[in-house]
Structure formats: structure tokens, C-alpha cells
Chain A
Amino acid sequence: MTTNQEHATATLEITGMHCASCAAFVEDALSQTRGVKRAAVNLASEKATVEFLPSVVNVAHLATAVENAGYGARQLKHDENHAAQAEATEARKLAEYTALKRRFGVAAAFAAVIMPLSMTMLVPSAEHFIHQTIGMQALNFILLALTLPVLLYSGREFYISAYNTFLHRTANMDTLIAIGTGAAFAYSVVATVMPALFEQHGIRAEVYYDTTATIIALILLGKVLEARAKGQTSAAIKKLIGLQAKTARVLVGGEEREIPIEEVHVDNVVVVRPGEKIATDGEILEGTSSVDESMLTGESLPVEKTSGGAVFGGTVNKTGRFTFRATKVGADTALAQIVRLVEEAQGSKAPIQRLADKISSVFVPTVVVISILTFVVWFNVMPADTRLPFALVNFVSVLIIACPCALGLATPTAIMVGTGKGAEHGILIRNAESLEKAHQITVVVVDKTGTITKGEPMVTDFVLLDSAMNTTMTREAAIQYAASLEHHSEHPLASAIVDYAAAQKVDAAFTVHDFLAVEGKGATGVVAGVNVIIGNTKLMEQQNITMNAQATSAAVQLLAEAKTTMFVAVKGAIVAVIGVADTVRDTSREAVQAMQARGIEVVMLTGDNRQTAEAIAAQVGIKRIFSDVLPQDKTNIVKQLQSEGKTVAMVGDGINDAPALAQADVGIAIGAGTDIAMEAASVTLMRSDVRDVVRAIDLSRRTMANIKQNLFFAFVYNVLGIPLAAGLLYPFTGWLLSPMIAAAAMAMSSVSVLTNALRLKTVKI
């Protein structure tokens, strides 16, 4: 609910609506309630948004009005609130986990009693003792009584699930466990109740209660471990969701009021104190501070914020107190979008999973067929007195060792951990396919401006000419004249000069008259009563300024360094030459080298001329460049590289480069900051650090390697395990796999896959 002085807004969840007329009916019921200013019902979302006067009516009254109309209403407090949903899920999972542990505990406790009792048959003196006292059949009845709780309580879900899936003509892991343990149990019951049936055929009436109970206990142990590990695969997204603030301190009529986050609306003014979490996205109105945005962008240094600056929900205010105007709330905030993007990536399927998917879709029925054939074969080849138990044991072993779960878990768990790890470092991967593609990249195309360079021209040289010194003009005065004039210009080159003056601590406060910007050439004006002209050669010619030899040679030198050159003329004579260049980012060279070290070719493209392009490329070690590129040509360059048989990643700013990013095999949008709505990019980097391109590629390579390990393990486990359990080695080595060992192997196989996927959390990228 949101309130201001006059009215409040609440969202109600409406139940029982079936058609548009129902919606109209609810809307009427609400609108006609005293104190309601406006009510809008959305049938599709089953929600009503009501604006009302809290002094006249409250939410409970509104709900009653809906109920009187014959529908159900409940106030929606956590609309789009990921945190609340996550909490509810967490609580539910904990309850499920506790129940699972209890089932395992019961199974383990009974198995611990059943096991030694069953072993008595292996110890002659103990067997003799049983025969002398209660008799074998009575012991079997005791074992039966002890196994029943394991079956009916701990293993119940396996049988119910197997039955339900059977009705759907599908089969899953529960089917295998149910048939396996069910067969062992049924055989044992017959042997217990009617031992004569076996004995008349010369078969010893053996029971397998220990096998039944132990299999269930071990598989439940596997499930307990699996549930614990699975929870950790989604730790990153939980952490992101947990960043959301729960309340906000909003200014209402000059008074600070703490309200739940879901009641904050756009244009609310929010107060933030030092050390507090910023509630939502907005624009600073008053105050300055430094903000820790590392949780969103991966940038470890706090970011300085002043009025007009953008702040983001979930980040932490460090030093100052400020107020900001909320610009985005709920699902529109950067944090919510990041959460959505990561969730989507984790829900997507990687192409590498296709084979595993195909296998798992036919896996269980195939294993059932193999187990039946195993039974038939052993029944036919073994001597009459041992063939039935022998066939049964191998039949059960095949069913129990087969593990479709390891196959099913192999890819998605690694994708979940990998994308989560990326998000922690400000690397947002759109989907599993992008993550898979990124490990095949052979060429990275980078846009020069804004990627390799800072994208902002900076004064690199300020050459004071001898002619100026002859007129006793100091360097400081020359900068002062230039900066004072350029202060009035909006051109990026002018800003570079103003910034330079500021950096040199020169005050550019001379008064300026008759300022005139000459398009494409420069600017003129009267600064502190003196004529000042700044511009290129054309402007100097136009203004009849004589070019002296020193100025010309300085200009030639700067041009050779691929710098933009400007002349400063004071009182009709050139006094200085300024060199301006877009500077290379500190990290560019390191990133280029890192990519080259990984066998990836780095290609730079730029709209600049060849000379400038080559100068920059040489600085960072790039060997292949495309210069004089028009924006529309970028896509063609990507296509050209693809036609050379290369897997191309394009790194760009995501806005101007959208078509090229979309054309590339992997489009990487860099420096998105917290504006992450970049549909064209496969990977979005929150920071403007080219090294993150390397990190993204490394993450992709690590994740893919992890997936391959998981798939290899899952395939090999089943391919070796099933024949082994079927007794394939028995004719040669006399070796058979006990169903209990099979159960332990099966339980550990999924846990191994999960543990391997979780290893990705600790890799350094």
C-alpha cells in the first residue's frame, strides 16, 4: 500500500473471476465503495489496483466489498517481490529437506538392525543358534516386520511416484528403485511365508530384506546429499535477490517515513543515510556520497555520486547522506533486471545437453528391458538350484545401479553455477547457448572508441611556442586564455581543454565577449579584452593568422602521433599548439595480451583514419585493424570474419553496435553500467573493462569443461555400471555386484556430478 496525504493505493489479488464481465463486476463493486477514487481490475493478472482515501476506507473494507460481490480478495503485499518469493521457497525447501532427512533416519536405523540379523546366516554358530531357538522362518518374519516401516514410510514416495509415472506411460528413477526393491521384497515375502515352494524345487528360501532396506537407506542418503548440494548451485541468484532492500525512508510532507519497499512509487523522494542500502533506482536530488556498487557491477572501488547522479537499488551508500528521486521501482530496477536475466540464463538449455536429453528420455524403459533380459539370461544359464536367486540379484542390481539423474544434472547444474559466478563478477550471460558459444571464440572484434580507449578526448600535449615566450606570455596564461574561451563551447575538444586547465589547477575565469563557434573549425572570442582564436589550420587561414615554422613542425609531430591538433592565437599571433587524443585505457593492453595468450586473435575497428588507428593498435599490441569504418559497415566486417571460418565475438557498447553484436556469434556489450536492457548482446559486461571479456571467455571455457567432465562421468558410470551389475564379468572373474553396492554407487553418482559442478564456484576468473 502506498500513501500520501490524500490517497493511498493498494493491490488486491482477486480470485474467482472467470470472464470479462466478472472483472467489470468486481471493478464496479470497488468503484462504488465509499472512499474509493479509482479501481482497475486486470483479469489476466487477477489483480485489482485501487486508489482510495485511507481516512474513509481501509483495505479490509475493500476486500469485504469484493467478497460481497461474490469473489475472493487478498491484499498483495509482495507483488514482484523476489525476496519474499525466495524466502517462501527457502522455507518450503527446508521443510522438505527435514522430511527427507527424517525418512533417511528411519530407513538407516531399521537397516542397522536388519543388516546384522540377516548376517546370522553367514556365521555358522549364529545360524545354529537361530535354528535351535526361534527357527529360521521366525527370524524371517521378524526381518519382514522390521523392513515394512522402511518400505511403507521411508520408501513410500518411490512406489507412489513410480505408480503415477506408470499411469502417464513415463518412467523415472523412482520406477527403477520401486521395481528393484519391490522385486527383492516380494521374493523375500514369498520365501518367508511359503518357504516350501522354494524347497520343493531344491532352492534355498533366502530372503533379501537387508538388500531392500539398505537400498532405500542409501538412496535416501544420496537424496539428502543431493538436496544439500543442489541448494548451493543457486546460491548466486539467492545472493542477488537478497540484495534488495526491504524498506525505504521516504520523504512525505517534509517528514521521513519508513515504508515497505513494495510501496515505493516512482517520483517518491527517498532519504539515504551513510551505511544504508539504497532502496531503489533513482537520481540524486541533494547531497554527495560514495556508493559501493560492487554487488551489481563487480567494480570494487566505490563510485562518487553527486546531485543528478544515478543510484541503484541494492547498492550500499558509504559516506554521505543524500536524497534521491525514485525513477524505477519493482521489476524495472537494474537489480530486478539482473535477477531476471540470470534466472533466464539458468532456465535455458545448452546445445551440448541435447544428447544427454535424448538418452535420458529413453533411459529408464531401456534399463528396465536390460534388467528383464538379464534375469532371463541368468535364469537360463545357471544351475536349477541357484538360478532364481542369482537372476533376481542381478536383475535388482541393474535396476538400482542405473542413474538417470547424473545425466540430467550434468549440464544444468554447471550452467547454474557458471552463470551465477558470472553475475557475481558483473558478467551477465544471456543464455546457456551463449555460454557454450563463448568457449569456441577464435576472434574478438573490439570497437576502438570507448572500448580500447576511454572514448573521451584528452589534452595530451600543450606546446608553448617560443613566439609566445618572446611576448612574455606564460604557459599558465596561455592555458587560461584557451580554457576561458572554450568554457563557452559545447564541443568535446573544448571540454578536453577545460578539463586540462582544471587538471593543471589553472583558473579559467576570464570574462568572454563575442564568443563564436565556427563549425568544424574552432572558436573565436574576446577574452579579458584580448582577441583569442582556437582552432585548426583552416580557421587560422580564415582569420589571416600567420603560421610560424615552430607551430608547423609541432603540428606535424602531433599528427604523426595520430593526435588532433589545435592552434591557440592570442592578439593575432599563434602562441601554442594543443594535441588532443583519445587515450588508451590502462587495462586494454593487458586484456589484448591475455586474449592473444589464449590463442584468440584480436581485431580492432574504428571510424578513425588509418594513421590514428595504427597508433592506438600499436600501443595495445593489436595486429589486425579495420579503419575508416562507417557504423553500418561493422556488421559486414563481422560477416567477413565469419566467412573466413572464424567464431567471432564482437565487443561494443550495445547501443550503436547493436546490429554487429547481433550478427556476431557472441555479442558482448561492454560498460553497460547498470543499464542492462541490451537485447542484442549474448554477454553483458557491467564494467568498462576489456579484461572482463577475457574473464567471460575464461568462465565459458571453465563451465564447458565442467559440463564435459560431468557428462563423461555420467555416461561412463552408466555404460560401465550397468553391464557390471548385469554380471557380465561373472563368467570370466566370478565377480558379481551386490545390489547394496549398486545402491551406494548410484547414490554417490549424482552427488559426484553436483560436487563437480560446485567446484566452479571456487575457480578464479
Chain B
Amino acid sequence: MDTSQILVTLGGVGLAGFVVWYFFFGKRQTTTATLTDSGVQEVAVTVKGGYSPDVIEVVKDKPVRLKFYRDETSSCSEELVFGDFSIRRELPAFETTVINILPTKTGTFEFTCGMNMLRGKLVVR
């Protein structure tokens, strides 16, 4: 092995390790929904290469209003799927799409893009 091979090997393995750590063990951005005066739990979510925030905490049996603002044209985020609530909705670019949900049981419910690449969680307590 010459020097460049050693460097490439070390660099490659290090980079692979970084990819695994960065994508699989990263910290998520969590937001707890704010309760409006009308009793609706509301959260604004920005969709741009992912969901910000991507973990949303709400309480059971109170209506939830999620306002998804899609801040990009990438087709990867054009659909939003809440499989547990039978919702598949198109998110027009640079517009806010409102999703209303009434969570009646506690648990963690995932929301994803149409192809399950971008992911977020709705945590019902």
C-alpha cells in the first residue's frame, strides 16, 4: 500500500463512518404544539429538504392543525403522507397546506414524503 492508498482508505472509511453517524444517529428537532384560544393545537412546519420541526408533540383528543409550508420545488417533497390517518396530500410549492387531525390515541405516528425518504413524527401524549 502506498501513501495515497492509505490516505484514501482512511479517508473513505472515515467518511463512511461519518455518513452512518450523521444520517442515522442525529438529533431531531422537536416542537410542542401551541394551543390556540379556540382549542386547536397548532404547529407550522417548513418543508425544505425535510420537515422543520420533524418531531411534533401534541396531546390526545384535541384537534391538531399542522400548517405545512413547502419552501422548495424539489419533487421529492411534493407529497405528504400520514398513513395512520389515511392522508395523502399534495403540498404545492411555496404555499401553506393545512392538515387537520384529531388524535384519539396516544403513540408515535410517522409522516413522510410520498416515497418515504423525508420523515417526521407526530408524538401524541
Chain A residues packing against B (C-beta within 8 Å)? 18-21, 23, 43-44, 89, 92, 96, 157, 160-174, 223, 227, 343-349, 356-357, 360-365, 368-369, 372-373, 375-376, 379-380, 384, 391, 404-405, 407-409, 412, 431
Contact = CB atoms under 8 A, between A and B. Distances in A.
A347 B2 CA distance: 55
Contacts of A20: 37-38
A356 B112 CA distance: 13
B92 A160 contact: no
Nearest to B27: A169
B118 interface: yes
Contact of A165 (B39, B50, B82, B87): B50
Contacts of B115: 172-173, 360, 404-405, 407-409
Contacts of B51: 168
A43 B76 contact: no
Given A89-B92, A165-B76, A363-B117, 11 more contacts: A44-B40, A170-B49, A173-B117, A347-B89, A349-B81, A357-B116, A361-B117, A361-B119, A365-B24, A391-B8, A412-B81
Nearest to A412: B114
Interface of B: 1-2, 4-5, 8-9, 12-13, 15-16, 19-20, 22-24, 26, 28, 36-40, 48-52, 54, 63, 65, 72-76, 81-90, 92-93, 112-119
Contacts of B48: 164, 168
Nearest to A100: B75
Contacts of A346: 88
Contacts of A157: 73-74
A168 B12 contact: no
B88 A365 contact: no
B12 A170 contact: no
A164 B74 contact: yes
Of the listed residues A345, A364, A376, A405, the one surrounded by the most CB atoms of chain B closer than 10 A to its CB is A376
B112 to A, nearest CB: 8
B117 A170 contact: yes
26 contacts: A18-B37, A19-B37, A20-B38, A43-B38, A44-B36, A96-B73, A96-B93, A160-B74, A161-B76, A163-B49, A170-B117, A172-B76, A172-B117, A173-B76, A345-B86, A347-B81, A347-B89, A348-B83, A349-B81, A356-B116, A361-B117, A368-B19, A372-B16, A373-B12, A379-B4, A379-B5
B97 to A, nearest CB: 11
Nearest to B77: A161
B9 to A, nearest CB: 5
Given A20-B37, A43-B38, A372-B19, A168 B89 contact: no
Leading 4 A-B pairs by shortest Cβ distance: A164-B49, A168-B50, A408-B115, A347-B88
B5 A168 contact: no
Contacts of B87: 344, 347
A344 to B, nearest CB: 4
B83 A223 contact: no
A344 B112 CA distance: 16
A165 B4 CA distance: 32
B5 A408 contact: no
B90 to A, nearest CB: 6
Contacts of B8: 375-376, 379-380, 391
Contacts of B50: 164-165, 167-170
B121 to A, nearest CB: 12
Nearest to A343: B88
